[in-house]
Amino acid sequence: MDKEKLAALGALVAGVAHELNTPIGNGLLIASSLRDKTQQLVGKAEGAQLRRADLQAFVSEAPEGFELIMRGLGSAASLVSSFKQVAVDQTSERRRRFGLMQICQDVAKSLASRIRQDGHSLTVDVPPDVELDSYPGPLCQVLSNLIDNSLLHGFAEGVPGEMRLTADALAPGRVRLRFADDGRGIAAEHLKRVFEPFFTTRLGQGGSGLGLSISYNIVNSLLQGQIGVESRPGEGAAFVLELPLSV
């Protein structure tokens, strides 16, 4: 593994550790407080000193504490699940021949309800004769992440937008996929960072900052291709994938 990959992996692991520290730390603090209050309650009950007010105070405070613990553990579990996707195990993914158009249409169908609900549209224009000998599962993950990214970041609230997924042949043995939206685009200072782990402009608003980083790792490792981004503020964004037809 070269220095660049090691540095990227180190940054990813450090980021995961940092992000996990908050929900786990908060959960431990609240759990410790609930444990102490429970022990106090048990002690008073055993000593026949338990008052109705003590029990009422515990019952009123405990549900909020449990809710905070569950919320923190849920966040941690979601983060771990996302992190697991980064290290796609090549031996566990099924490599096979598949039609690119079918895969793209399957992804579009799986997200159609959400796209319509948000007031947007997605057009798929992929030649029917393009076949790959590769990993359809991870490719679907990448395409889903790109669409999710546009839905979360690409459009102003309440403004309908259009997305397009197209493909065309490159040199023999390679294909180019282009996913684009007509949204608000990406600020120039953010363009170089969009594939960094945990980089997001929607922190706390549904953005984990892992989707594009996961996509970058899948494309460049398992799918043996490249992915880049093009954008100008106010003119939408486009992600371009160049993939070999056979890996």
Query: In this predicted model, what pLDDT tens digit does every residue of 27-37 receive, in sequence order?
Result: 899 999 999 99
- Of the options 3.30.565.10, 3.40.50.1110, 3.40.50.2300, 3.40.1000.10, the CATH number for the domain spanning 96-244: 3.30.565.10
Q: Where are the domains of the chain?
A: 3-86, 96-244
Say if CB 84 and CB 127 are below 8 A apart.
no
Query: In this predicted model, what pLDDT tens digit does every residue of 35-75 receive, in sequence order?
Result: 999 999 999 888 888 888 888 988 998 999 999 899 888 87
Determine the Cα–Cα distance for residues 101 and 220; give it in Å rounded to an integer: 21
Residues 38-56, buried b or exposed e (16+ Cβ, 10 A)? Answer: eeebeeeeeeeebeeeeee
Say if CB 154 and CB 184 are below 8 A apart.
yes
How is 198-216 classified by DSSP, letter by letter? T--S-BTTTB-S-HHHHHH
Determine the Cα–Cα distance for residues 179 and 239; give it in Å rounded to an integer: 5
